[in-house]
Amino acid sequence: MEYPIFDLPFFGGSLLIAAIAIPHVFIAQFSVGASFLLALAERRANREGDSETRAFLKTYAFTVLLVPYVLGAMTGVGIWFATSVASPRAISSMIHLFVWGWAAEWTMFIVDIVAIYLYVYTWDRIRPSAHNAIGWILAVSSTVTLVLINGILSFMLTPGSWEPLAPYGFWKAFFNPSFWPTTLMRFFVSLALAGAVALLLMALMRTVPAAVREKMTRLAYRMMLPALACLVLLPWAFSVIPERSQQFIQGGAIAMTLFFAMGMACFSLLALGTILAMVRREWNPSVLGASLLIFFAFVGYACFEFVREGARKPYVIEGFMYSTGVTTEKGQALDKRASLAVLREKGVLSAASWVLPLGRTIAELTPEEKGYAVFKAACLACHQVYAGYNAVQPLIGGWTRETLRSYLDTMHEQRPMMPPFPGTDAEKDALAAYMATLTRRGK
Ligand code: HEC
């Protein structure tokens, strides 16, 4: 609408966001768990005067915590870049709705960054108890960042009783219906990841003494076990998402169904693997075993994120804003420019300043050119044209212009993942004319 259109060939904006967001979340979450593992293990090692364990923890902090931390911060900036160019209106709304939430998040993030650098660089340079205190500051501040960001993210799928402009909106939005199950799940997965990575590190380091190995392996298993709760937390989260999204997962959209099932399977395997290793008193896991556990955690997690993003279609903020940035009746009071009601009256092109060919006005365009402009404003968020992410041309092979035109009247009823057409009848005519040129090309 009021922002330039981002047209990433083939992949589309949503895949770009996913490609950056999934590794980011994985790395960021790992560092939350890793800081707990370090703080806990260091406290015990200090109490027992165990310098061998401290030496292992130092390697853990320097190799597997610091590097991901830097990568996590970089991919975090990447997410802001990708979401701001791909869904600028959604990002703008989220920034406005959660002003203090973001402020708190960024403050915590600074505490977090300072703490990790102090933690790494003061190792063996200050009193062990003071060093461990920095570790706890790191563990707590990184957990708070996880909780804050998840309050904001979970709101997008389940706003619950939140209403724009109504009192206590921030709190209702933040403590939304899926806040607890998803926050707990993220926290438990983060602990599990840190545990599994410790196992891998030990498997790779032949020099770790047997006593340290056993102690750390026991701790790692204890950190991985709570991930078992995901098998309850996921169904809990499922029970509070909108009915439409539940139907996608229950077979309405086959990709969602598969990914949800795969996510559950991966978390089950992660829990099962941990329990089995504990029962067998396996204090010396192999590189393969540890890598498999990390793999299950990663794939399970990626599936969960994919379903979370996919199941909220056609909305980017449930019931409030469609993926295209157009707002619903609920958003109307806050949005004078591109609510569905305004666009239906004035046309989507009236608000989408950036979709017209450079230097031309609407009046100068042919119907097909106008139709392509409408496509960019109303469809490009979810469809590439010829090939790639959900490309539309292969979907409409053989459709006539009349079929296309009447489809636009009921697109949201035919496919519940699509928003209603945002624009005038004349714009529907133009879009149908443009799409008809695609089907000819396809033959
Ligand atoms: C919020 C995302 C989203 C937007 C915006 C969107 N679509 Fe779709 N569209 C989808 C999805 C997802 C599917 C696949 C649906 C399925 O398989 O259930 C789809 C399917 C289709 C199909 C195939 C129809 C069929 O019944 O097989 C056509 C045609 C289509 N879209 C046209 C459009 C046009 C034209 C626009 C713009 C006016 C548009 N879409 C906007 C998500 C979207």
Q: How do residues 346-374 score in pLDDT, each as one tens digit?
A: 999 999 989 999 899 999 999 999 999 99
419 Cα–ligand 1 center, Å: 9
- pLDDT score of 1: 83
Amino acid found at 285: P
The C-alpha atoms of residue 199 and residue 256 are separated, in whole angstroms, by 32
Instruction: State if residue 344 touches ligand 1 by the CB under 6 angstroms criterion.
Output: no
Token pair 């032949």: residue: 206
Query: What are 43's two structure tokens?
Result: 């406290």
Q: Whose CA is nearest to atom 8 of ligand 1?
A: 418
- pLDDT score of 288: 96
The pLDDT tens digits of the residues spanning 109-119 come to 999 999 999 99
Q: In angstroms, what CA-CA distances link 381 with 20, 30, 229, 354, 418?
A: 17, 31, 35, 14, 11
| Atom of ligand 1 lying closest to residue 414 CA | 26
**In this prediction, what percent of the chain has a pLDDT beyond 70?**
99
The C-alpha atoms of residue 261 and residue 253 are separated, in whole angstroms, by 13
With CA atoms as reference, report the closest residue to 441 among 389, 404, 386.
386
Query: 2 vs 269, which has greater pLDDT?
Result: 269
Could you give the angle at the alpha carbon of 160 between the alpha carbons of 158 and 165, nearest 5°? 115
- pLDDT score of 66: 80
Instruction: Say if residues 159 and 317 touch (Cβ distance below 8 Å).
Output: yes
The C-alpha atoms of residue 375 and residue 164 are separated, in whole angstroms, by 29
Query: Among 58-72, 80-94, 175-189, which stretch is predicted with the lowest mean pLDDT?
Result: 58-72
The pLDDT tens digits of the residues spanning 274-299 come to 999 999 999 999 999 999 999 999 99
The pLDDT tens digits of the residues spanning 45-54 come to 999 999 999 9
Q: Whose CA is nearest to atom 15 of ligand 1?
A: 415
With CA atoms as reference, report the closest residue to 298 among 368, 227, 388.
227
Half-sphere exposure at residue 8, Cβ-oriented, CA atoms within 13 angstroms:
15
Instruction: State if residue 323 touches ligand 1 by the CB under 6 angstroms criterion.
Output: yes
- pLDDT score of 206: 86
With CA atoms as reference, report the closest residue to 56 among 192, 213, 232, 265.
213
pLDDT of 441 strictly over 60: no
Residue 382 Cα to chain centre, angstroms: 17
- pLDDT score of 443: 41
The C-alpha atoms of residue 91 and residue 93 are separated, in whole angstroms, by 5
Q: CA-CA-CA-CA torsion for 190, 229, 147, 243, nearest 10 degrees?
A: 120
Query: What are 435's two structure tokens?
Result: 């799409």
341 Cα–ligand 1 center, Å: 21
Which of 321, 379, 400 to probe ligand 1 with, by most ligand atoms within 8 A of CB? 379
pLDDT of 24 strictly over 70: yes
The C-alpha atoms of residue 363 and residue 183 are separated, in whole angstroms, by 51
Token pair 């770009």: residue: 16
Residue 414 Cα to chain centre, angstroms: 27
The C-alpha atoms of residue 112 and residue 265 are separated, in whole angstroms, by 33
With CA atoms as reference, report the closest residue to 36 among 150, 211, 187.
187
Instruction: State if residue 312 touches ligand 1 by the CB under 6 angstroms criterion.
Output: no
213 Cα–ligand 1 center, Å: 54
Radius of gyration of the chain (CA): 25
Q: Any residues with CB less than 8 A from the CB of 154 and at least 6 apart, and which?
A: 176, 178, 179, 182, 183
415 Cα–ligand 1 center, Å: 7
The pLDDT tens digits of the residues spanning 293-320 come to 999 999 998 999 899 989 999 999 999 9
418 Cα–ligand 1 center, Å: 6
272 Cα–ligand 1 center, Å: 40
Instruction: State if residue 253 touches ligand 1 by the CB under 6 angstroms criterion.
Output: yes
- pLDDT score of 442: 44
Q: Whose CA is nearest to atom 30 of ligand 1?
A: 392
pLDDT of 13 strictly over 90: no
20 Cα–ligand 1 center, Å: 24
Instruction: Say if residues 117 and 123 touch (Cβ distance below 8 Å).
Output: no
Which of 156, 400, 408, 417 to probe ligand 1 with, by most ligand atoms within 8 A of CB? 417
Averaged over 232-257, what is the pLDDT?
Answer: 95
The pLDDT tens digits of the residues spanning 135-157 come to 999 999 999 999 999 999 999 99
Q: Give 15's pLDDT tier (boundaries 50, 70, 90).
A: confident
**In this prediction, what percent of the chain has a pLDDT beyond 90?**
86
Q: In angstroms, what CA-CA distances link 288 with 105, 173, 200, 285, 293?
A: 37, 43, 8, 8, 9
The pLDDT tens digits of the residues spanning 64-80 come to 788 888 888 899 999 99
Instruction: State if residue 116 touches ligand 1 by the CB under 6 angstroms criterion.
Output: no
Q: Whose CA is nearest to atom 40 of ligand 1?
A: 379
Residue 255 Cα to chain centre, angstroms: 17
Token pair 């939304």: residue: 176
Q: In angstroms, what CA-CA distances link 60 with 52, 120, 146?
A: 13, 10, 21
Instruction: Say if residues 92 and 325 touch (Cβ distance below 8 Å).
Output: no
With CA atoms as reference, report the closest residue to 198 among 74, 289, 303, 265.
289
The C-alpha atoms of residue 429 and residue 374 are separated, in whole angstroms, by 10
- pLDDT score of 440: 67
- pLDDT score of 22: 86
